[in-house]
Each structure stands twice: as C-alpha cells, then as structure tokens.
C-alpha cells in the first residue's frame, strides 16, 4: 500500500507525495470542479488491478495554500507538480524521467488547463488511468511504448506496423495532414515506412488488455505488457532503454516487489482516505559545531562566513530561524525568530560565537537542544528543519536518531573535513534531508555553496536567491583575479557581491555593464570575519559584471567571490540549476552518473556550458564537462538535463559535488524537441464505424514560453556521495566504452548510411579503438546472438573522440527482392573491452527503380488508405478510399463497409 500526499505551496504548485516517492498536483480555488479525491480513488482501484492485487493508495493528504485561512493543519513537503505549462509543445501531462531503466523519475507535471478540461478525457482517458501511467514512470522507471518521432516500424514479417504494445491492438492508417502526397497514405521507398501525415487510428472497442504504458485510455486495457505479449520489435523507449524487457518484468524487479506477495483476496481495496495539510513558512534551526576540532584549517572563520551569507542573503523573507551551538554541551544562541527585516538578519548573524569552546563534539546534544527550540516555537514540529554542521567524529550519533525521526524533523547535514561522523549521511537520509560534504581546501567556497543548495531544494523559488558566482583562487603575492559574471534579465533584486580572504583585505574593483564602478569604500567590510559585502542598490543592471581582486601584500592569499541575486519580478521564473548523482554510495569500478538540470520554470535551458567539480576528501578535484547530446549517460537530447559518467576515483571516502553553468549572450540555443515521457496525444478513434478525430493538440504561443535566450551564470551544489573499493596503486583498464543509444540508418540508392554519436574508450570519455558492425534479417538474432550475425568490414572506420558524430556507409549484398536489414554496433577499446550492443536500427533495400503511389481518387479532401506487406510492395498493395469532411470542432471520416470488416490479412496493422 502506498501513502499518498497531495500538497501545494503558495506559488500555485501542489504536490502528491508518497512516502518514499512524491508527486505533485494543483488545488486551485478557481478550479474547484477538479476533484483530486476522484482521480486518486479511481487510480487506486486501477493500480490495484494492474498490479494483480499488490498495490493501491492508502492515505492521501492535500496541502492547501498558505494564503488560505489558517487552521490546525499539519505541515508537509512533496514533489508531484500541478503548474502552468512552459512548453511550446502544449499541455500534455508528463513525468520528468531522465535516469536509466528501473530508476525512479523526479516528478509528475499536470497543468491546470489539462485537469479542468473535460475534452482531455476523450484524448487521454479518465484521469485516474492516466495517473497510473505516469505513476509507473515515476515509481518504477518504465518507459513509454509509443514514439511520436517514430510512429511506425517494419516488422519481421515485412509489414508496416504502428509502434505499440501489445501488437494485438487494432485500427487503420489514415492520412490526416495536407503533407500527404496527393492525399494518399503511402509508403516512402527510402525508409519503407509510411510518409509523414499518416497516423494510426485505433478501434475504440478492443479485445487486447494491455498495455497501460501504451494506451491506458482504451476501456479494455487494464494491464502492463508482460513477457507473453510484449512487442520487442517496436522502436520505442521501453525497448531501447530496458534492453527489450517488458514493462511488467521491469516493475516486478523493483524493490517494491522483490519481497512482495500478491494479496490472496481478489476483493477491491478500500478507497483512500483524504486529509488536509497546509503550507507554512520555513522553520529552520542552525545546529553548529564549535568544538576544538573547528580550530583546524580555518574552519570556524569559513563556517561563520558561510552562515552569515545564509542569514543575510539566502534564507527567505518571513522564514523562522533559530541558532544552537554545541561542543560537549549545547547552547541556545537565538530562539526561533521570524526574518522580517535586514536588522533581524544582522542580529541573528551577530549571535554567532567568535571562537571554539570545549574539546569534544557531542552532536546529539546539539540536535536534541534544537528540537526543544523548535518545539518552543511550535509544538507541532513535523516538517520543520535542522541544518547540522559538524567536523567532529562523534560515533554515538545514532543514539538520538529515534528522537528526531519520531518528531518528523527534516535534518540536512554538512560534514566538514575528513573526520566528521560517518553517521551524518544516514541521519539525513532517514529524515528526508540532504547530506553534504565540504573539504578542508582553503581555495574552496564549498560551505557557502551548500547553504544555498539547502534553501533551493524546496519551497517557493520565486522568493529564493540564485547563486550566480562562486569562485575561490589561490593568488600569489601582489597577484590578481580578473573575471566577469553575468547578471541575466530574470534576476537583479537583492544582488550581493561578497569577497572573502584569509589574512589581509584585497583591493576590490567592480564594474557594471553600464559603467557602474565600485571599490572597497562602497563595500561593507568586516575585518574580523575577513569579509567585504556589497548590495547593489535597486535592480542590478543585466549584463556582464567584471571584478578585479588584487592581493595587497607579498604573501600568497586565497580570495573568493560569491554573487547572489533574486528574481527581478515575482511573476518571472528565474533560471535554476539542480545537480545530483544517480547514487549516494558506490563501489569501484561501477560507474556513476552526474546530472545537472538547467531550467527556467519547467522549461529546459539549452546550449549551456556545464562543468562539474567533484572534490575528494584530499587531493585535486575531478573536472567533468556535462553534455545534453542524447549519448552516453545522457538519455534524451535537448531536454535541459546535462550528464556524464563518473568512474575514475583517486581514493575512497566522501566526495562533494557542484556544477558551474554558463551561457554566453551570443549563444543561440535550439528549442527542445520533445517532452520527458509525455502522455500520448490520441488523434482519434474508430467508433461505431466512423473515424472520430479529436481536436488538434493545443500549442502554446512562443511568446507564452518566457524562456531566456541570453547569457547567464549559475553555481549549484549537490549532495555528497561515498566511494569504496578503490585500488591503492595503479590499476588496469576496467572501463569499457558505453553503449551507443542513437544508432540510426537510412538508405541512399543501394547503400546504407549509419549515423551515431561516438562513445569513448572509457564509457563516454576518451576515444575507442574500433567499431564492430553486424547485420541480420532477424532483430532477435542481433540481440541474442550478435556474434553469429553477418560482419561488415569497418577497417576504414576510425573512431572519433567521444561525443563526435560518426557516419559509416556500406553496400549490402545485392538481392532481387525487397530486403529488410537490421543493424547493430559494438564498440571496442584498446584493452579489448566491449560495449553493450547498441540499439537496433533497420533499413529497407528496394531493388530497381520501382515506385509506389496511390492516386488521389477523391481530390483534395480524399483520404486514401494504403497498406500492404512490403515483400509484395509493388504488385499486391490494397487501396481503399474514404471521404473526409470537416466541422468546426471535429473531423469525421465515413468508412466504406469494406474497411469496417477489415482483418489482419486485408490491412497490415
């Protein structure tokens, strides 16, 4: 049984949250006709049947906006989203899902227009059924069994088929666009597939019971495809991402079902129960280590600098903040106070001690004292937070786990240095908090970065600052740092430039894009804290800001610059960055993946330069350039999610993560081509012998997208992760090339042209040694017996560096017949390590100059349906015709009786 919460904060975003997974959903006063109770109840029963009595929703909590009348509701967090669309491509529901097969998604996004529009039921089916479709993406990491980019494929029986699962679903091909040649739905000789403009219209009444990941809208569908009816030939994301496994096989291998036993009773479960929660302002207590271990490596100064930035610049207005410090004992430095003015922010910052006290760090004492401080503010502490920072090696931290877990506190942990307790990450994970690691490197801004990341992890982004710059550099005596950063048009409010140093105040010169000039005299300097802070009056000018920091004495010095700013207007979405890895613990030599999601609102930002900086406990950082090219670790091209494999580690232990994202003002970014896992838009159905077309998919106007096209800069920190099993000495190459996932084939005359993105010699880095290309007339043979397939001579094909575009042209053996060829590629590195087999591509070889075109029997408004077995392409195609007419809302096509009685032998569907 899943416990589900539906929540919404004051920024019109609601969430449905399911204990370990969360989802989101809108609750709007002007859309009260949308009843989430009905949708989730329907989804619960449908999910129960789809999982054969294993899963249903037990309790649902609805979070109402903070602006509504206050009541004694509990507090909550979540991440299933109902919010306005930001996509040019329309209002389709979707799940943000960019991990591998079986990996959980991030959230489900519904739009208010979708939920209040009754016409959407005719397109997607009842909302409860659609919810289960998206839930399977989110919870179990399965993928869609359709493909809007490749709606057709050629089957092993040499027939054009609609990309679907199961293949038992029936329907006919219809030409619905003017782009169809002479009104005909015909086969393109170059591809063997139907030309653009053709679509597959399903019979409304079906006998097939699967699949939910294809068309949950059909009344007969109540199951996921399993091994008995899975269509492994279809060119869809489920097959390519999950190595041709069925959705049910992937679901059953998830943690949810590994030890689960189906219910013995076939009776329907009880409906979910519903209760109300209410969004509130952030309540946080800082729990800071001031033991003697903080005297090492300048830790106290660095901590005070970071906490001051948090209090003065980062934490949102109207938040509630308290401060507790600890060593062997604990001390309350400030009870919970609401942040309502700059004076209160400064007073909170002044409450911090200036020196350590006590020898040992008793973390539990600090945490338990913070719990009392929060309870004094509000007896209902559930949903309140603690930021725990320590460098101590207290091994008894687990003794107080039960106290904070039972209270419902969310604890974010920051481990400072190598000696911090190894139990910190466990505490963060058990309470739903984030866990960070900060090295003792002097030339690092890690502490400031993680405080920004904690605030950005939840809440209303319109009231949160964004981190624009964060740089630290060791400068030789009398040396300089000269750099520029970009204030983009989405920000400019409350813009702060903060400089720190270790020994002596540097000379500071700051230039704005319109000649603004600031020096040390305009900065607020704190010589004891080694900090200089400048708040730009009013709205900071958009453009390049250049700063020059000069070391003012002869000894080496570490200088840092941090820049934060807030949204220029409350109704403007800022550009945000989220970064994380796919695992929080890993054992060598298994690879990890680093992700950075760059968005404005829910719209992806493309064309950015994204660099990940991964710092171990000691030694030099690892630098990785992340890409959004749909190759290697990146599953979808141009979706605003940048990624790369991470596999080479110098040592065991904790690692920190942050990313730097930049885009020049001159960069022209492509517009995203597709959504993440969008629900399929159904063009129409065959009902009672008539094709009934749905209204065209609604498109947003380009001016509604509000996507920034100029330059910008961002910094974002991610959670810590831990590595084990790293060899102590030199080790041999154990990293194979990554799998090719974008292999594509086309025919040009009697040749086949293959294209793909080059993997590396080590996963998606470096350069491979050679490619192995094989072909077969059986896709099954390629998948299961690749070594037995026909090899192609690739001696002339030298692999290019990872990320390059590869092209290979070859001429298959001549044949007198129409021939369907399947192709696959493996990559080999210099250590003779082989990649996994690529996705399978297909191409059709048609001998001679044969052409195939059906006449437009009824002129411009005629629809000609053409279907045939490809081996009989020229001689035996069946042509049937129907007459099309239009109305203001829907298009209808009258169908000849011959079509109504069609069978698989007459129409190859």
Are 170 and 215 within 8 A, CB to CB? no
The set of residues, in sequence order, having a beta carbon less than 8 Å from that of 776 and lying 6+ positions away, is 782, 789, 790, 821, 822
For 254, phi then psi, to 5°, come to: -75, 165
Selection from 291, 281, 391, 290 nearest residue 336 by Cα:
281
Find residue 863's DSSP bridge partners.
882
Number of H helices, E strands in the chain: 16, 49
H helical segments located in 311-399:
342-350, 363-377
Q: Is the dihedral of CA 78, 83, 86, 89 positive or negative?
A: positive
Cis peptide upstream of residue 166 (ω within 30 degrees of 0): yes
**Residues with catalytic annotation?**
134
- Three-state DSSP at 430 gives helix
Residue 651, token pair as written in the block: 């040592």
- Say how many residues make up the chain: 909
Selection from 138, 109, 114 nearest residue 213 by Cα:
138
Quick one: how far is CA 484 from the chain centroid?
30
Q: How far apart are CA 724 and CA 548, in angstroms?
A: 41
Selection from 862, 892, 497, 556 nearest residue 693 by Cα:
892
Burial (CB < 10 A; 0-12, 13-18, 19+), residue 219, is exposed
Are 822 and 784 within 8 A, CB to CB? no
Please compute, for residue 890, the number of CA atoms within 13 A of its CA located in the half-sphere on the CB side.
Answer: 13
Residue 371, token pair as written in the block: 């719990």
Selection from 202, 31, 45, 201 nearest residue 110 by Cα:
31
Q: How far apart are CA 476 and CA 558, in angstroms?
A: 9
Residue 497, token pair as written in the block: 């430039």
CA dist list (Å): 880 to 153, 530, 868, 877, 896: 22, 82, 11, 10, 8
């Amino acid at each position: 049984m899943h416990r589900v919460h539906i929540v919404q904060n004051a920024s019109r975003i609601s969430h449905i949250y399911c204990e370990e997974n969360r989802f989101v959903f809108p609750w709007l006063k002007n859309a009260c006709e949308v009843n989430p109770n009905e949708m989730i109840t329907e989804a619960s029963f449908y999910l129960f049947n789809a999982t054969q009595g294993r899963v249903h929703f037990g309790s649902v909590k609805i979070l109402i906006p903070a602006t509504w009348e206050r009541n004694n509701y509990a507090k909550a967090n979540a991440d299933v989203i109902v919010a306005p669309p930001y996509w040019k491509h329309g209002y389709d529901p979707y799940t943000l899902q960019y991990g591998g097969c079986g990996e959980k998604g991030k959230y489900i996004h519904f739009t208010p227009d979708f939920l209040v529009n009754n016409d959407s039921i005719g397109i997607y089916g009842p909302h409860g059924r659609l919810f289960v479709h998206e839930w399977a993406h989110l919870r179990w990491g399965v993928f869609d069994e359709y493909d809007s980019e490749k709606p057709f494929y050629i089957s092993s029986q040499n027939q054009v088929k609609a990309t679907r699962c199961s293949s038992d679903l029936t329907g006919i091909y219809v030409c619905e666009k003017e782009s169809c040649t002479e009104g005909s739905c015909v086969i393109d000789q170059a591809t063997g597939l139907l030309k653009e403009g053709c679509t597959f219209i399903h019979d409304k009444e079906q006998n097939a019971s699967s699949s939910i990941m294809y068309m949950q809208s059909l009344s007969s569908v109540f199951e996921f495809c399993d091994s008995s009816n899975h269509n492994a030939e279809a060119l869809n994301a489920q097959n390519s991402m999950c190595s041709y496994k069925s959705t049910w096989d992937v679901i059953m291998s998830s943690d949810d079902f590994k030890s689960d036993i189906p219910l013995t009773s076939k009776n329907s479960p009880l409906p979910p129960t519903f209760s109300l929660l209410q969004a509130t302002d952030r309540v946080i207590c800082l729990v800071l280590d001031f033991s003697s271990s903080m005297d090492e490596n300048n830790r106290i100064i660095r901590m005070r600098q970071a906490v001051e930035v948090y209090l003065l610049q980062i934490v949102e207005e109207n938040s509630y903040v308290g401060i507790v410090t600890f060593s062997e004992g604990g001390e309350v430095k400030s009870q919970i106070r609401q942040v309502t003015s700059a004076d209160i922010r400064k007073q909170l910052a002044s409450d911090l001690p200036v020196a350590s006290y006590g020898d040992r760090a008793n973390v539990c004492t600090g945490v338990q004292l913070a719990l009392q401080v929060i309870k004094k503010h509000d007896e209902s502490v559930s949903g309140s937070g603690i930021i725990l920072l320590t460098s101590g090696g207290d091994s008894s931290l687990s003794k107080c786990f039960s106290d904070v877990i039972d209270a419902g506190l969310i604890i974010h942990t920051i481990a400072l240095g190598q000696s911090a307790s190894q139990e910190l990450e466990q505490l963060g994970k058990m309470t739903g908090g984030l866990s960070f690691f900060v090295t003792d490197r002097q030339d690092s801004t890690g502490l400031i970065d993680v405080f920004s990341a904690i605030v950005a992890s939840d809440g209303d982004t319109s009231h949160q600052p964004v981190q624009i710059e964060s740089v630290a550099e060791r400068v030789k005596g009398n040396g300089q740092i000269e750099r520029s950063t970009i204030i983009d048009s989405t920000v400019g409010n409350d813009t702060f430039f903060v400089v720190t140093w270790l020994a002596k105040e540097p000379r500071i010169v700051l230039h704005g894009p319109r000649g603004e000039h600031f020096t040390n005299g305009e900065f607020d300097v704190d010589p004891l804290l080694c900090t200089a802070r400048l708040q730009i009056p009013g709205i900071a000018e958009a453009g390049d800001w250049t700063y020059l920091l000069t070391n003012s004495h002869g000894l080496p010095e570490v200088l840092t610059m941090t820049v934060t700013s807030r949204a220029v207007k409350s109704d403007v979405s800022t550009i945000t960055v989220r970064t994380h890895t796919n695992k929080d613990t890993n054992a060598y030599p298994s690879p990890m993946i680093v992700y950075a999601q760059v968005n404005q609102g829910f719209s992806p930002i493309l064309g950015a330069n994204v660099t990940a900086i991964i710092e171990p406990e000691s030694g030099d950082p690892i630098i990785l350039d992340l890409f959004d090219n749909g190759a290697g670790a990146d599953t979808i091209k141009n979706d605003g999610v940048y990624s790369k494999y991470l596999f080479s580690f110098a040592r065991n232990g904790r690692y920190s993560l942050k990313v730097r994202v930049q885009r020049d003002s001159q960069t022209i970014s492509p517009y995203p081509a597709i959504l993440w896992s969008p629900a399929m838009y159904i063009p129409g159905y065959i009902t009672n012998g008539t094709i009934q077309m749905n209204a065209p998919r609604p498109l947003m106007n380009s001016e509604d997208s509000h996507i920034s096209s100029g330059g910008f800069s961002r910094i974002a920190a991610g959670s810590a992760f831990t590595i084990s099993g790293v060899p102590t000495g030199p080790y041999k190459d154990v990293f194979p090339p990554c799998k090719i996932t974008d292999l594509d084939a086309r025919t040009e005359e009697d040749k086949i042209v293959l294209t793909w993105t080059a993997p590396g010699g080590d996963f998606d880095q470096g350069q491979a040694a050679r490619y192995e290309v094989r072909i077969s007339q059986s896709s099954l043979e390629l998948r299961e017996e690749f070594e037995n397939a026909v090899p192609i001579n690739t001696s002339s094909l030298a692999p290019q560096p990872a990320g390059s575009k590869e092209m290979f042209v070859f001429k298959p053996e001549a044949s007198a017949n129409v021939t369907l060829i399947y192709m696959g590629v493996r990559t080999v590195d210099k250590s003779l390590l082989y990649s996994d087999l690529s996705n399978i591509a297909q191409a059709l070889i048609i001998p001679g100059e044969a052409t195939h075109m059906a006449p437009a029997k009824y002129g411009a408004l005629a629809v000609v349906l053409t279907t045939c077995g490809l081996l009989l392409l020229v001689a035996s195609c069946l042509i049937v015709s129907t007459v099309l007419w239009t109305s203001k809302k829907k298009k209808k096509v009258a169908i000849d009786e011959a079509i109504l009685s069609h069978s698989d032998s007459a129409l190859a569907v």
